[in-house]
Amino acid sequence: MTLMHDAPADRQPDPERPSEPAQPAVATMTMAQALNRALADALEMDPSVLVFGEDVGTLGGVFRITDGLTKRFGEQRCFDTPLAESGIVGTAVGMAMNGMRPVVEMQFDAFAYPAFEQIVDHVAKMGNRTRGKVRLPMVIRIPFAGGIGGVEHHSDSSEAYYVHTPGLTVVSPATPQDAYGLLRAAIAFPDPVVFLEPKKLYWSTGEVDTTAPLPELGRARVAREGTDATLIAYGPTVPVALAAAEAAAAEGRSLAVVDVRTLTPFDDETVCAAVRATGRAVVVAEAPGFASVASEIAARVSERCFHYLEAPVRRVTGFDTPFAPPKLERYYLPGVDRILDAVDDLQWEDA
Amino acid sequence: MHADDLMPGDTPLRLIDEQGSGHPHEHYAFPSADLLREGYGRLVLGRRLNDQADALVRQGKLAVYPSSHGQEACEVAAAMVLGEGDWLFPTYRDSVAVVSRGVDPFEAFLLLRGDWHSGYDPNQYRVAPQATPLATQLLHAVGFAHAARLRGEDTVVVALCGDGATSEGDFHEALNFAAVFHLPVVFLVQNNGYAISVPLSRQTAAPSLAHKGVGYGMRGRLVDGNDLAALLAVLGEAVTEAREGGGPTLVEAITYRMKSHTNADDANRYRTAAEVEPWLARDPLLRLRTWLTAEGALTDGDVAEFQADAERVALDLRARIMADAEPQPLDLFAYVYAEPTPQLREQSELLAAELAAESRAEARTESRTEEVAR
């Protein structure tokens, strides 16, 4: 099995990258701080990078991801807009057409839908429509998914809408290190990136090395090695899958965990190598399972790894209901027990 | 800015009336006869291209054509007021404006031939791709202007839309963003009376579309959309104000869609010939020609020359459009991303294999046919 704790880099760290004395290159930070640092470093390095959206200026964003950026870089580089998501994304398209690298924030997953027409009709298609003459280097950051007890419209897993749209690149980090690296890579990318930030992980902590080579978009990561079955997860379900693997280990079963990281383009190579090595796979995602990213992963793995499989590929996903109200959230979200139950069903008796 | 300064007048500005008589205005300078003469040439070309495109649809060479017949003065004026470094953001009905801006007519019409979704390089001509979803391109225009402003450039952007598009949310968001950020954008709404079949009365209850400007803190201006002189005066002033830091303007041009929405539409189902008839006399070419002739700025020889020039362009367009398109199937995968994804590479190989099998089969059929012939 290919081990990919560190995905191959597509670029070397820039010697010009500023190292602020107050901000060491390697530090323990929350995912929110790592994202903030990534935005700050991108703004510092590239004058064409702009950050805008709702409440991202003085307030620093409702999740404080843009905290201090307006103060440090000025109103011209990080600013509040009128409260209009289509306006934010649509003007970002125009800015990207005119030499800028806008990074816009949608305040919550379900509040990004007014921008859907712009995203599907223009953000995703401009490069193709113009035969590559006009590329849109822009990032749409969306705090997404549940796990924070949010009231209705604050916990949607909206990734399938974006993943289903050719022309978009869709990324979701699961660690502070990836939050930093993948966001920097997304901002440097020549095409538009929908960057899905698992909001329940904003306060998770980890070591971040800002001088590490930036990860290549489109590469998955083996988050934990294992020999008996492979859990495939992304974004908010990666820590859940890791917890399930830990619990399984205590029971003598060795589960690998693959963190997909980039939903499109999907890393068939890494995921399939991990599945072939164990012969069993469970896909874990928060979104409703019907016609979902989890479904696509299960289908791809089944098609490509059929002769290696000891059991059908299983999915553990959210139910096909609107996202649960806060008091019912724990019944809705895929948890360790539900994952382990699915693992138990992988036809071990035939082994 | 005082609200009164933002309000449009009660009647559209008109400098040349339907009879071709000029009416000097206390505020707006009359465009020079030379400029209007140049504009007349562009109108002749625009009309000829509208007719040519209709003919090409009838011959099955273009998939469809949303004609701007009757609206050519708006189309031409939008292009004429732009400076070299300025940008135009057109809609699907604005092919004449796109050509008037300088885009090769063949490239402009490739979209409608069905070769690709856009046929020209936006950066080469400073013309955004023609937008089909309504009002979405207005936001791109605003963002484009914002970027220019942040870099301290004096680019002005003219963004086009129709009366139906003013009901879309993106129209509102675009005007609001442009006004809040005080951006150099001129919004030109061609009010041609219809959104396919639905009349203006079902789009708005406002006194005019230009009145919407004041709601955003933006100048609203009302102009006769069939009077090139008035259009150049109003749009020209709006562009100058935008360039000098005066912010955006909303211009509503009152015109009329003489043809159906497209060739696939039948306007007889929702409007009468009696309604269309008075607009024939308001034709933008007719009145400008009358005025220019009376001014001694246009001879019959000049008209013949303009028409001959337009004919040459139209016939060249016709010849190039009639030539067989040779779309490359593998182009489907080439531009989706800067670098095709592994999945797109796989799919491209699949199609390439199908194409190869197809051409082998064709070659076999041909050789069999040859054998039989022998």
Instruction: Check CB contact under 8 Å for B129 and A126.
Output: yes
Contacts of A191 in chain B (CB under 8 A): 337-338
Instruction: Check CB contact under 8 Å for B141 and A94.
Output: yes
Please give the distance of CA A64 from its chain centroid, rounded to a whole number: 18
Please give the distance of CA B220 from its chain centroid, rounded to a whole number: 21
Put residue A68 in one of left, alpha, beta given phi > 0 → left and psi -120 to 50 → alpha: left
Helix (H) / strand (E) element for B158: namely: strand B157-162
Instruction: Check CB contact under 8 Å for B170 and A169.
Output: no
CA distance A199 to A236: 8
Q: What is the 3-state secondary structure (H, E, C) of chain A?
A: CCCCCCCCECCCCCCCCCCCCCCCCEEEEEHHHHHHHHHHHHHHHCCCEEEEECCCCCCCCCCCCCCCHHHHHCCCCEEECCCCHHHHHHHHHHHHHCCCEEEEECCCHHHCHHHHHHHHHHHCCHHHHCCCCCCCCCEEEEEECCCCCCCCCCCCCCHHHHHCCCCCEEECCCCHHHHHHHHHHHHHCCCCEEEEEEHHHCCCEEEEECCCCCECCCCCEEEECCCCEEEEECHHHHHHHHHHHHHHHHCCCCEEEEECCEEECCCHHHHHHHHHHHCCEEEEEEEECCCCHHHHHHHHHHHHHHHHCCCCCEEEEECCCCCCCHHHHHHHCCCHHHHHHHHHCCCHHHC
- The per-residue pLDDT for B369 is 78
Contacts of A93 in chain B (CB under 8 A): 139-140, 143
Residue B364 DSSP label: H
- CB-CB contact of B230 with B20 (8 Å): no
Q: Copy the structure tokens of residue A284.
A: 């874990």
List, in order, residues 6 or more apart from A5 with CB less than 8 Å away.
A221, A222
- CB-CB contact of B138 with B174 (8 Å): yes
Instruction: Check CB contact under 8 Å for B151 and A99.
Output: yes
Instruction: Check CB contact under 8 Å for B335 and A132.
Output: yes
Among B31, B22, B43, smallest CA distance to B285 is for B43
- Nearest-Cα distance to chain A for B157, in Å, is 11
The tally of CA atoms less than 13 A away on the side-chain side of residue A73 is 28
CA-based nearest residue in chain A for residue B133: A121
Nearest by CB: B143 against A94, A167, A191: A94
- Nearest-Cα distance to chain A for B106, in Å, is 15
Task: Determine phi and psi for B231, rounding to 5 degrees.
Answer: -60, -45
Nearest by CB: A129 against B129, B170, B180: B129
Instruction: Check CB contact under 8 Å for B150 and A50.
Output: yes
Name residue B335's beta-bridge partners: none
Q: Is any Cβ of chain B less than 8 angstroms from the Cβ of A117?
A: yes
**Look-up of token digits 């004026």:** B77
- The per-residue pLDDT for A6 is 35
- The per-residue pLDDT for B317 is 97
Say if residue B159 is exposed, middle or buried (CB neighbours under 10 Å; 0-12, 13-18, 19+): buried
Tell me whether residue A5 is one of the annotated catalytic residues: no
Q: Is any Cβ of chain B less than 8 angstroms from the Cβ of A82?
A: yes
Instruction: Check CB contact under 8 Å for B180 and A87.
Output: no
Q: Copy the structure tokens of residue A26.
A: 């390697």
CA distance B326 to A137: 31
List, in order, residues 6 or more apart from B273 with CB less than 8 Å away.
none
CA distance B344 to A266: 11
CA distance B134 to A230: 47
CA-based nearest residue in chain A for residue B336: A128
Instruction: Check CB contact under 8 Å for B170 and A87.
Output: yes
Q: Is any Cβ of chain B less than 8 angstroms from the Cβ of A118?
A: yes
Q: Copy the structure tokens of residue A197.
A: 């930030």
Per annotation, catalytic residue among A5, A122, A153, A154: A154
| Angle A79-A143-A91 from CA coordinates, rounded to 5° | 40
Q: Is any Cβ of chain B less than 8 angstroms from the Cβ of A28?
A: no
Q: Copy the structure tokens of residue B142.
A: 């605003």
Q: Copy the structure tokens of residue A66.
A: 């843009």
Contacts of B336 in chain A (CB under 8 A): 127-128, 166-167
- CB-CB contact of B194 with B71 (8 Å): no
- pLDDT tens-place string over residues B331-344: 999 999 999 999 99
Among B138, B131, B230, smallest CA distance to B183 is for B138
- Nearest-Cα distance to chain B for A124, in Å, is 8
The pairing of beta strand A221-224 with beta strand A255-259 = antiparallel
List, in order, residues 6 or more apart from A254 with CB less than 8 Å away.
A226, A227, A228, A248
| % of chain B exceeding 70 in pLDDT | 99
Q: Copy the structure tokens of residue B146.
A: 């914002």
- The per-residue pLDDT for A31 is 98
- Nearest-Cα distance to chain A for B109, in Å, is 14
- CB-CB contact of A271 with A233 (8 Å): no
Q: Copy the structure tokens of residue A8.
A: 């191959």
The pairing of beta strand B198-199 with beta strand B194-195 = antiparallel
Contacts of A218 in chain B (CB under 8 A): 341-342
A 151-190 residues with CB < 8 A to B:
166-167, 169, 190
Contacts of A169 in chain B (CB under 8 A): 337
Helix (H) / strand (E) element for B87: namely: strand B87-89
CA-based nearest residue in chain A for residue B89: A94
CB pairs under 8 A between A and B: 135
- CB-CB contact of A60 with A72 (8 Å): no
Instruction: Check CB contact under 8 Å for A169 and B147.
Output: no
- Nearest-Cα distance to chain B for A141, in Å, is 18
**Look-up of token digits 């323990």:** A28
Name residue B84's beta-bridge partners: none
A 309-348 residues with CB < 8 A to B:
none
CA distance A270 to A285: 18
- The per-residue pLDDT for B374 is 67
Q: What average pLDDT does this structure show over B90-118?
A: 96
- Nearest-Cα distance to chain B for A228, in Å, is 28
Instruction: Check CB contact under 8 Å for B335 and A99.
Output: no
List, in order, residues 6 or more apart from B350 with CB less than 8 Å away.
none
Kindly write down the DSSP assignment for every residue of B308-351, as one continuous string: HHHHHHHHHHHHHHHSPP---TTHHHHSSSSS--HHHHHHHHHH
Instruction: Check CB contact under 8 Å for B141 and A268.
Output: no
Q: Copy the structure tokens of residue A14.
A: 């820039």
Q: What average pLDDT does this structure show over B189-193?
A: 97
CA-based nearest residue in chain A for residue B111: A129
- Nearest-Cα distance to chain A for B219, in Å, is 19
**Look-up of token digits 């917890």:** A243
Instruction: Check CB contact under 8 Å for B342 and A265.
Output: yes
CA distance A169 to A100: 18
Instruction: Check CB contact under 8 Å for B139 and A190.
Output: no
- The per-residue pLDDT for A13 is 44
Q: What average pLDDT does this structure show over B223-232?
A: 98
- The per-residue pLDDT for A349 is 87
Instruction: Check CB contact under 8 Å for A134 and B129.
Output: yes
CA distance A211 to A181: 9
- The per-residue pLDDT for A350 is 66
Contacts of B138 in chain A (CB under 8 A): 90
Residue B30 DSSP label: P
pLDDT confidence bin for B325, thresholds 50/70/90: confident
Can you give the pLDDT of all 351 residues of chain A as single tens digits? Answer: 333 333 333 434 444 444 455 678 899 999 999 999 999 999 999 999 999 999 999 999 999 999 999 999 999 999 999 999 999 999 999 999 999 999 999 999 999 999 999 999 999 999 999 999 999 999 999 999 999 999 999 999 999 999 999 999 999 999 999 999 999 999 999 999 999 999 999 999 999 999 999 999 999 999 999 999 999 999 999 999 999 999 999 999 999 999 999 999 999 999 999 999 999 999 999 999 999 999 999 999 999 999 999 999 999 999 999 999 999 999 999 999 999 999 999 999 866
Among B4, B6, B2, smallest CA distance to B220 is for B6
- CB-CB contact of A297 with A319 (8 Å): no
Among B207, B114, B199, B108, smallest CA distance to B162 is for B199
CA quadruple A260, A266, A270, A276: dihedral sign? positive
pLDDT surpasses 80 at B69: yes
CA-based nearest residue in chain A for residue B153: A98
* Helical H segments across chain B, by residue range: 3-6, 33-58, 72-80, 95-100, 105-113, 122-125, 136-150, 169-180, 212-216, 228-243, 273-281, 284-295, 300-322, 331-334, 342-373
